[in-house]
């Protein structure tokens, strides 16, 4: 049996992590996987996380299973963080999942269970694992135009035109903020117009919000998904705590489903819990409990928010520095989009050959589509990246 297995194509982000590790050069720069690093290159445990973990170790008196949906207090805290205090609680189903990726996987399984022929619409480009998971589940994938490489912004006209072809029951994955990989995001008005198109088509939005707090702030980053949920009859949302709480390896995520009416809530919640049971039974709890403690404690929450603001500010200053250094070197503002983008990522518009040249000649590692993780930089490496970009002729 096992000899019949075919080799799996490596995930390009994870393959890059391995290549970086193997490069013996001291001056190499890792702009690959989406992990935040501070100015000294570390990915620290956040202060509030450490404090909550200490308290948890002291106070926790059992490790017995949670429910299939995880701890309801976690679902309540994170759904409020994402959807705000006026979330549609009487129509909101939610289950804890292993990370945001787990929420995407469970959400797509829910779509397949409810509407077996539904197509999955993905932005072009998108996070490669969206494509991999949907394809693995045997779902048909379609793409909608999203990125305008010329301006570094969103091709909203193209997006509207393509989404107008979505069929009733299709699901459309949207990045809640900090679009991965492009860094280009919808405005509030564009969210409203997207909601209108999807409602008209009867297509179901599925918002992947993995970077809340990394763009314009916790509230501003949730504005799009909140507008959408207020305007459409049903929606799915996959939230991740990996990045904004820095608990990557704890696998802490939440899948939410907004049902069209309160009487559909119980069945929706039951289907989501059943899917958890079929796939892994009970979701991981440690990270979820830490997040719940932080969000429920005024002091911990305030400290977490302050540290998250430092993280966001650090990324913004790196963006501004890189745009400035490139302006100085090229005498043009054609990299100005780097300062306008939000989140960890930007597509810098290099060809695969130019990406390879920068890796070979300068030890700069970025994904082949020229996605850079801005948080992989520091004030000292920004000028080197700017030099590499100019030398590669981008």
Residues 306-335 that bind ligand LMR (CB under 6 A): none
Q: Give the per-residue contact string, 153-192, with ligand LMR (x = CB under 6 A; - = no).
A: ---------------------------x------------
> Measuring CA to CA, which residue among 207, 202, 213 is closest to residue 229?
207
Residue nearest to ligand LMR (CB): 34
Instruction: List the Cα angle 295/72/240 in 5-degree steps.
Output: 55
Question: Phi and psi at residue 115, in whole multiples of 5°?
Answer: -140, 80
Residue 16, helix vs strand vs coil: helix
Determine whether 243 is an active site residue.
yes
Residues 1-30 that bind ligand LMR (CB under 6 A): 13
Please, which residue, 13 or 338, has the CB nearer to ligand LMR? 13
- Of the candidates 208, 221, 223, 285, the residue annotated as catalytic is 208
Residue 257, helix vs strand vs coil: strand
Residue 87 CB, nearest approach to ligand LMR (Å): 25
Residue 356 CB, nearest approach to ligand LMR (Å): 19
Instruction: List the Cα angle 368/371/372 in 5-degree steps.
Output: 120
Do residues 120 and 131 make contact, with C-beta atoms less than 8 angstroms apart? no
Select the residue interacting with ligand LMR from 15, 19, 28, 33 (CB under 6 A): 33
- Of the candidates 51, 75, 103, 127, the residue annotated as catalytic is 127
β-pair type (235-240, 371-373): unpaired
Burial of 149 (0-12, 13-18, 19+ CB in 10 A): exposed
> Measuring CA to CA, which residue among 223, 184, 268, 206 is closest to residue 82?
223
Determine whether 127 is an active site residue.
yes
Q: Is 244 in the site for ligand LMR (CB under 6 A)?
A: no
Residue 201 CB, nearest approach to ligand LMR (Å): 28
Question: Phi and psi at residue 370, in whole multiples of 5°?
Answer: 75, 30
Determine whether 38 is an active site residue.
no
Select the residue interacting with ligand LMR from 36, 74, 121, 127 (CB under 6 A): 127
Q: Considering CB under 6 A, how many residues would be counted as binding ligand LMR?
A: 6
Q: Contact positions toward ligand LMR, by CB under 6 A?
A: 13, 33-34, 127, 129, 180
Residues designated as active site:
127, 208, 210, 243
């Amino acid at each position: 049996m096992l000899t019949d297995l075919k080799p799996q194509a490596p995930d390009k982000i994870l393959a890059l992590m391995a290549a970086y590790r193997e490069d013996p050069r001291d001056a190499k720069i890792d702009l690959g996987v989406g992990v935040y690093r501070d100015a000294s290159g570390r990915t620290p445990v956040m202060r509030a996380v450490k404090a909550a973990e200490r308290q948890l170790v002291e106070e926790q008196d059992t490790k017995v299973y949670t429910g299939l949906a995880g701890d309801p207090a976690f679902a309540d805290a994170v759904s409020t963080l994402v959807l705000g205090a006026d979330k549609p609680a009487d129509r909101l189903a939610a289950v804890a999942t292993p990370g945001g990726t787990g929420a995407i996987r469970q959400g797509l399984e829910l779509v397949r269970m409810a509407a077996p022929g539904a197509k999955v619409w993905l932005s072009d480009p998108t996070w490669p694992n969206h494509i991999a998971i949907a394809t693995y589940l045997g779902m048909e994938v379609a793409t909608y135009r999203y990125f305008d490489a010329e301006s570094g912004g969103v091709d909203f006209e193209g997006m509207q035109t393509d989404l107008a072809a979505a069929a009733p029951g299709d699901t459309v994955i949207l990045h809640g903020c900090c679009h991965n990989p492009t860094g280009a995001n919808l405005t509030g008005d564009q969210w409203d117009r997207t909601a209108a198109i999807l409602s008209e088509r009867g297509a179901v939005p599925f918002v992947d919000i993995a970077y809340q707090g990394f763009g314009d702030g916790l509230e501003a980053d949730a504005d799009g998904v909140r507008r959408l949920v207020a305007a459409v009859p049903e929606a799915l949302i996959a939230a991740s705590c990996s990045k904004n709480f820095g608990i990557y390896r704890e696998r802490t995520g939440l899948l939410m489903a907004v049902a069209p009416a309160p009487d559909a809530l119980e069945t929706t919640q039951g289907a989501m819990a059943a899917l958890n049971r079929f796939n892994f039974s009970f979701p991981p709890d440690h990270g979820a409990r830490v997040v719940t403690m932080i969000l429920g404690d005024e002091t911990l929450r305030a400290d977490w928010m302050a540290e998250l603001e430092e993280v966001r500010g650090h990324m913004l200053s790196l963006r501004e520095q890189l745009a400035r250094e490139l302006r100085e070197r090229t005498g043009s503002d054609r990299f100005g989009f780097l300062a306008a983008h939000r989140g960890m990522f930007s597509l810098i518009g290099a060809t695969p050959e130019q990406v390879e040249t920068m890796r070979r000649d300068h030890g700069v590692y970025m994904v082949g589509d020229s996605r850079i993780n801005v948080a992989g930089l520091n004030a000292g490496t920004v000028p080197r990246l700017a030099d590499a970009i100019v030398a590669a002729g981008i």
